[in-house]
Structure 1
Amino acid sequence: MNLFDHLPDTTDPDSLYSAFEAWVAGRGIGLYPAQQEALIELTSGGNVILATPTGSGKSLVAAGAVFAAFARGERSFYTAPIKALVSEKFFDLCDAFGSAQVGMMTGDASVNPGAPIICCTAEVLANIALRDGAQAEAGLVVMDEFHFYADPDRGWAWQIPLLELPQSQFLLMSATLGEVERFELDLKRRTGKDTVTVRSAERPVPLSYSYRMTPLHETVQELLEGGQAPVYIVHFTQAAAIERAQSLMSLNVCSRAEKDAIAELLGGFRFTTRFGRTLSRFIRHGIGVHHAGMLPKYRRLVERLAQAGLLKVICGTDTLGVGVNVPIRTVLFTALSKYDGRRSRLLRAREFHQIAGRAGRAGFDTIGYVAAQAPDHVIENERALAKIGDDPKRRRGYTRKKPPEGFVNWSDQTFEKLIDAEPEPLVSRFQVTHAMLLAIIARPGNAFEAMRKLLTDNHEPRAAQRKHIHRAIAIYRSLLDAGVVERLETPDETGRTVRLTVDLQQDFALNQALSTFALAAFDLLDPESASYALDLLSIIESILDDPRQILIAQEKKARGEAIAAMKADGVEYEERMERVADIAYPKPLEEMLEHAYATYRRAHPWIGDHPVSPKSVVREMYEQAMTFADFIAAYDLARVEGIVLRYLADAYRTLSHTIPESIKRDDLVDLIEWLGETVRQIDSSLVDEWEALRNPEAHAAAQAALDDAPPPVTGNRRAFRVLVRNALFRRVELAARDEVEALVALDAEDAEGLEHTEEWTGPWEFDDWDEALGDYFDEHEELGTGPDARGPKLFEIEEGPTVWKARQILDDPAHNHDWHLRAEVDLAASDAAGRAILRVLEFDRFDG
């Protein structure tokens, strides 16, 4: 029964509170005192700052606030810091209110955006607040994880709604807010509504703290034996989490019966990547890994197994602090210091409490445990001294092990201070952008007054406000000079004294900022060019967010290869270093795109907040006929394969929705289909997630199944043809570089996917590649791999019911085209593997 069945006939606060309390009671739970206090204030129309511990039911208070706002006929916005959390809240509210009443907006797409209840990222709400101000239809604003207000890059989005939505009722929630009196006073002044802070230091599940002087594997063993599992071991790099999981494989984490239960629950779950196969070993031993670089399906698997009580240990990163649904009894910190991208430092109180607060499961545990390891060198020294005993002479002679260079030390006193410390005060992160000025100028009314108020009545100190004013003036002048804005001699009927001279794309600040630039750049390409489809792809890639880890890996490899080549040529060290500084990751169409961007920006200055960024991830994979596994292996990206796949999914979605149908030639459609199927076969959730959002009723059934198996790869005929062509052409690429070992390995890998391979002996053996390539290169100096070589004229395929026959004619320098590569494609094996499985038949001259 959803909340609509409990709507009262009146909006009287007592009736609203009683109706919601009855719904809660119907679910077999009761309200804590802090929840009661907050809900009384919210149903009465006041603002609430909810500063209660993790696990104290803040989401239930938010649902009550949304319920009261809906009953009053007001629209609600529920914001969260990351898209995954927005999606989670969307489904929770769909369960409570019905999917017809709930929408979602995350910046790259929207679902049911006209709904009375909207889940969105903070950036989306901030841009709505800038665009519509006091006219925005936002009766209630719930800001979850409000401590993100102090995030250096994104904090501005948490401040703007507070400044620009005086008509709204606010619920600000976090377990780690610190001092908030200034927010109370500010909200009261701006909204005119009573504003209270509801605090509670009392956790539903109290915490017990301990500082450990034993090596970590001994600590884990003690926690397991003491009944304190599940244990979440906190690391501050993804690599450290994976290495720890490997090191703990020597412990007897689970019983035989528990391991059998894990295997049974896994069933036919497909571990489709190299890291997946590593994770499978860990999981079957009772150890999970959890971090942001994993494929979503692997993270969900670990979460579900943890919820089922089958994982005793989870090695993860500090991302656990952002609303991740992993039930745990003990949080074990491997360190109390971290490298934050600029320097190594001790954990801040907010960071510590955000993670520690995840210990203890309401409804399962009567107590949660938080432990911290002493530094490794301290433990080693203490053990050595204990072994020496009390002999002063021997103790003086002992050479203490020193910490690593740059190490930031911590101790039990550090731990005690963190336990007792209040979270640091939230710091304002206000920013001024082109989009901000454009949104306010587009509003009805006097833009100067609105902007003056925003710039002088924000949460920044006066010195910072002056800097923001200077930047705003500079942006305004650039808009005037570009002719995007014009002054009006007399105010218009809405009170405007300046206005825009261009029509902004609808919700231009809410979606892909450079999509209109991409549309304009498409016109610069030659449709007759053999590389037209790939160049369209490169324009799309240039407007996507940079996948930093991938680009770093590409640049590192390019520089390494260049240094090796220069060494072979005898180039001196100093000159090598000078040359290599100019080498970067691949940037197709860089000169054209940067020139086009500069031209477009003069007429559309607001895109200056979003620079164009040429790169080649999808293009490199497609041109070199690489599979997902090939690309991951080439750049050693196994630890961040989830980030790679997320980028591919974003590229697929943007390609599909941004490029007009009128210019989508067959080769581009092939590319898009290939990319979509590649993503789907690795982790179908990234392609299917928007379908699930549009059909929330089907979501619950999909979530109930542990194995999110993709459809058969041969089911999408068009995409599978491209996969076959790429699998064949990948061998041509390797043959062109005379990489015999790689070709043999590729054939062997495909052979593993074929049934009864040990009995198969065909006309082609793996070691035939060396002789075949030798014969080819005796005739020709090189083997072509360019656009003509992979064109449709040189590729043939014959489709059968169970086996396809494929042939790639080779592009020799003389264009004789009298050599070919032939293979069979096993459809059943391909479906089982989620990729094209080939059996090479011949690499030889043929009679044309």
Structure 2
Amino acid sequence: MSDHPLLRRLPSSSGASNDDLLSCFLDYVTEKKLELYPAQEEAVLELFEDKNVILNTPTGSGKSLVATALHFRSLAMGRRSVYTSPIKALVNEKFLALCRDFGPDNVGMATGDATVNRNAPIMCCTAEILANYALRDGAQAPFREVIMDEFHYYADHERGVAWQVPLLTMSESRFLLMSATMGATEFFRDELTRLTRAETTIVSSRERPVPLEFSYVETPVDVTLQELVEAKKTPVYLVHFTQNEAAQAAQDLMSLNFCTPAEKASIKDFMMGVKFTSPYGKEVKRYLAHGVGIHHAGLLPKYRMLVEQLAQRGLLKVICGTDTLGVGVNVPIRTVLLTRLSKYGGQKVSTLSARDFHQISGRAGRRGFDDIGYVVAQAPEHVIENLKMDAKAAGDAKKLRKMVKKKPPEGFVGWNEDTFKKLQSASPEPLTSRFQVSHGMLLQVLSRDGDGCRAMQRLIADSHEPPKAKKQHRKRAWQLFRALVERKIIEMLPKAERAEGRKLRLNVELQDDFSLNHTLALYVIDTLAIIDPASPTYAADMMTLCESIMENPDTILRRQLSKVKDDAMAEMKAEGIPYEERMARLEELEYPKPCRDFIYSTFNEFQAEHPWVGQDHIRPKSIAREMFENFRSFADYIKDYELDRAEGVLLRHLSGVHKILTQTVPDKFKTESVQEMEAWLAGVLRGTDSSLLDEWERLRDPNWKPSEDEPASREPADITRNKREFIALVRTEIFRFLRPLAMGNYKLAASQFSQLRSIWSEESLIATLDPYYDEHERISIDNEARNGRHTYVESSEDKRTWRVCQVLVDPEGLNDWQMEFSVDLEQAREAGKPTLALLGIGPVVVT
């Protein structure tokens, strides 16, 4: 059994003194061969005195250890504690770490995607989940200790309200707020003290365990990198502000050599057995083999994890990535090299905020590895080019007169060394309140025991907003309240039925994890009830509903719209339509939106009945559906839309659709065609990158228990392990062949499978099918044709191969011809996808 070092240090009773508990925790620190920094020690002592603590110390100064101390004290005293952070990956990482220290029975997790051990004494969750508890339960929320990590997200435009709500309602809790870039903290100290009636201590330090050295350079980035590598200031994180720039940088660095042959051999050895099967995988492998990593959200998770593992072993000299590294990504680095000091913030390009700068630069220097971290900023490219020309002219007046200086690009927001110096000394900007009233908030608060109306009034009054904004919030709350009453979602109780201050009742039941991300799941369920399950497009329409409640993956939708416009332009040119009219028509086009009018009309009706939907909108689109209906594999779709650098975006979208199908759609709506579609999607995910699907399935298993002895598997997923999923993938490959065959494109059909080229040709396919067309009008590939009952699978005695027969469905309904394939299961496991060999086409033989 795994040892859980903090679990075995818990006293036998909950009556231990603070001194005893502190002694037990310090034993753990000693066992880990750690030594508390002054700020850590001060924060722990204050927390053990039942005070609130605001911990505002640099990255790498051990804030997580302070949080662990608070969890330990809370558990020892028989209380519940909660850890929250802005992103699911950090919640998951903290969950596994706490399981190792306290044992899996004592730790739970809730992220909206999955819930594990919900009633555990230690809970890890996203900020939105904690806000739900705070709104619904107020002072009676079940957590006595609240740890809010990366607290600067309080100022996030979209999500900041979730970080403020616990500070307004959980008056019986004690808080630990943590961030490296919190800015001014006095306001939060006063508010926490007012809320909890307990003293609040600010523990702040600008001193880093690993100090930073800053430098500004006016050399090209490739020269800068070579100098840093030669000075052994690696790993270097080369920071960009778009995924495309990071990817292009990795490509550009292939002409440079950063690693010795021995180092490259070590990288090769470590990557042994790793499959780079996606379209972009070959590029990633090429970069890594050269000692150059790439890390951004557009990559498949398995590639990002591999980069992190290589970096942790010191095998990568340079990592090209985006500024998202600033939030908790596990990539140890010595040097941060900033390619720019300005970025696009959603509306305009502006100089980096002090908070962004400190978040990014704070990742330099590894505790326990480095004595110093390095932060280097590049001068603007046009400045560097002009300096090179000046140097080349060497003061020659004639050359200088002829020189044409390079100008900055249009819309450029410049920076210089003074900008860099100001950012170094600048304090993070004050955190701005993002409080807002929504239907969801109103329903949560009104569902409380007692006087929910008074609680809502108090919530607005206590919010961290100026008086003018509070007035607008009260007006907004009243408008929403009236709408809920008019629709009888809220009902005022007769005076005779009022008890304990309760004046109303809700006529709806909110799910435990009710939040903005889940609200529209109710729309899917309501709308499925009015779709005819006998419709030939029922399964595909269900997928469209699932896709419609998800956020738009803009990168993919832009490519779809571009293709729509290209096709339309070619068609209009062929028709001779004048240029001006063509341009006008193009402006009216949009990316594919199946069931567009149906979805918009049913959503409007749903919104009228369920006004807590608020400002959220339905977003019809067709990505997973397009893949499903057109028999496209993950690799096909990436190539179709040239999405190589955005594979992670497509994978996350498909994973989200699968979760909604599996987690939200009730089983009563799942016909055989839906089940097959679900299996196909699961097979696509598992064959592309099983990490997301395996993790989600593992966390949904009520019997699963994490273990510190459970290493992250580096073996490729066995794509054949789930027979239903694998058959769905095999059938997709069959229909990739059948589709061009049915259209009479024998050349394309013959090229679909590599095995076909040596056995089947365009001519042999025509000759083989001539007798078929003597008796049948065509080969059908409609929804009836793709029904699973037309596919027959037999396994060989040694379980190494399958024989698959696919009936050719014809309009006459004779269905008396079939294709026969063989599938090598071992080859499928190795390749991560089914590879079929066509054995024959002919009449069905009745035995």
| TMscore range, shorter length | over 0.9
| Residue of structure 2 aligned with 1:6, choices 5, 9, 16 | 9
- One-letter identity of the residue aligned with 1:599: E
Moved more, 360-369 or 722-731: 722-731
Question: Does residue 1:828 correspond to 2:826, yes or no?
Answer: yes
Aligned equivalent of 1:541: 547
CA RMSD of aligned residues (A): 2.6
After superposition, what is the alpha-carbon deviation per residue over 1:122-155, rounded to whole angstroms, capped at 9, x for unaligned? 0110111001111111211101000111111111
Question: Does residue 1:664 correspond to 2:670, yes or no?
Answer: yes
- One-letter identity of the residue aligned with 1:20: F
Distance 1:103 1:206, change over 3 A: same
- One-letter identity of the residue aligned with 1:6: R
Aligned equivalent of 2:711: 703
- One-letter identity of the residue aligned with 1:60: L
After superposition, what is the alpha-carbon deviation per residue over 1:398-441, rounded to whole angstroms, capped at 9, x for unaligned? 21011111111111111111111111111111111101111111
Query: Equivalent pairs: percent with the same residue?
Result: 47
Question: Does residue 1:49 correspond to 2:57, yes or no?
Answer: no
Q: Tell me if the contact between 2:546 and 2:660 (Cα under 8 Å) persists in the aligned partners.
A: yes
Distance 2:763 2:34 in 1: 68
- One-letter identity of the residue aligned with 1:709: P
Distance 1:507 1:747 in 2: 46
Aligned equivalent of 1:757: none
Superposition pairs of residues 591-610 of structure 1, within 5 angstroms: 591-610=597-616
Aligned equivalent of 1:239: 244
**How many residues are paired up?**
836
Aligned equivalent of 1:755: none
Q: Tell me if the contact between 1:330 and 1:359 (Cα under 8 Å) persists in the aligned partners.
A: yes
Distance 1:314 1:702 in 2: 28
- One-letter identity of the residue aligned with 2:38: P
Distance 1:340 1:769 in 2: 56
Aligned equivalent of 2:371: 366
| Residue of structure 2 aligned with 1:387, choices 376, 385, 392 | 392
Aligned equivalent of 2:587: 581
Question: Does residue 1:839 correspond to 2:837, yes or no?
Answer: yes
After superposition, what is the alpha-carbon deviation per residue over 1:788-829, rounded to whole angstroms, capped at 9, x for unaligned? 332346545454344434444555667776776553323222
Q: Tell me if the contact between 1:729 and 1:808 (Cα under 8 Å) persists in the aligned partners.
A: no
Distance 1:545 1:11, change over 3 A: farther
Tell me by how many angstroms 1:542 deviates.
2.4
Tell me by how many angstroms 1:27 deviates.
1.1
| TM-score, structure 1 as length reference | 0.93
Superposition pairs of residues 64-213 of structure 1, within 5 angstroms: 64-213=69-218
- One-letter identity of the residue aligned with 1:703: P
After superposition, what is the alpha-carbon deviation per residue over 1:232-284, rounded to whole angstroms, capped at 9, x for unaligned? 10011111111111111121211111111111111111112011111111111
| Residue of structure 2 aligned with 1:729, choices 731, 735, 740 | 735
Distance 2:43 2:426 in 1: 25
Aligned equivalent of 1:258: 263
SS at match of 1:3: coil
| Residue of structure 2 aligned with 1:715, choices 711, 714, 721 | 721
Distance 2:743 2:355 in 1: 53
Tell me by how many angstroms 1:311 deviates.
0.8
After superposition, what is the alpha-carbon deviation per residue over 1:618-649, rounded to whole angstroms, capped at 9, x for unaligned? 22211111111111111222212112112222
SS at match of 1:233: strand
Q: Tell me if the contact between 1:744 and 1:767 (Cα under 8 Å) persists in the aligned partners.
A: no
Aligned equivalent of 1:316: 321
Question: Does residue 1:461 correspond to 2:457, yes or no?
Answer: no
After superposition, what is the alpha-carbon deviation per residue over 1:687-743, rounded to whole angstroms, capped at 9, x for unaligned? 1113544677555444354x14212x2332222222121101012223455666754
Moved more, 635-644 or 297-306: 635-644
Tell me by how many angstroms 1:226 deviates.
0.3
- One-letter identity of the residue aligned with 1:710: A
Distance 1:198 1:234 in 2: 30
Unmatched 5+ stretches in structure 1: 752-759
- One-letter identity of the residue aligned with 2:829: D
Distance 2:407 2:704 in 1: 56
After superposition, what is the alpha-carbon deviation per residue over 1:754-783, rounded to whole angstroms, capped at 9, x for unaligned? xxxxxx943x14786788899999999976
Question: Does residue 1:654 correspond to 2:660, yes or no?
Answer: yes
Tell me by how many angstroms 1:467 deviates.
2.0
SS at match of 2:431: coil
SS at match of 1:50: strand
Moved more, 242-251 or 347-356: 242-251
Tell me by how many angstroms 1:35 deviates.
0.2
Distance 1:449 1:245, change over 3 A: same
Aligned equivalent of 1:410: 415
Q: Tell me if the contact between 2:738 and 2:749 (Cα under 8 Å) persists in the aligned partners.
A: no
Distance 1:337 1:20 in 2: 44
Distance 1:471 1:231, change over 3 A: same
- One-letter identity of the residue aligned with 2:7: F
Moved more, 200-209 or 518-527: 518-527
Aligned equivalent of 2:507: 501
Aligned equivalent of 1:297: 302
Distance 1:308 1:791, change over 3 A: same
Aligned equivalent of 1:517: 523
Q: Tell me if the contact between 1:485 and 1:498 (Cα under 8 Å) persists in the aligned partners.
A: yes
Aligned equivalent of 1:785: 781
Distance 1:774 1:393 in 2: 80
Distance 1:761 1:742 in 2: 14
Tell me by how many angstroms 1:387 deviates.
1.6
Distance 1:507 1:588 in 2: 30
After superposition, what is the alpha-carbon deviation per residue over 1:354-386, rounded to whole angstroms, capped at 9, x for unaligned? 000000000000000010111111111001101
SS at match of 1:715: coil
After superposition, what is the alpha-carbon deviation per residue over 1:89-117, rounded to whole angstroms, capped at 9, x for unaligned? 10111111111110001122211010111
Unmatched 5+ stretches in structure 2: none
Aligned equivalent of 1:682: 688
Distance 1:736 1:209, change over 3 A: farther
Aligned equivalent of 1:754: none
Aligned equivalent of 1:336: 341
Q: Tell me if the contact between 1:288 and 1:313 (Cα under 8 Å) persists in the aligned partners.
A: yes
Distance 1:251 1:776 in 2: 59
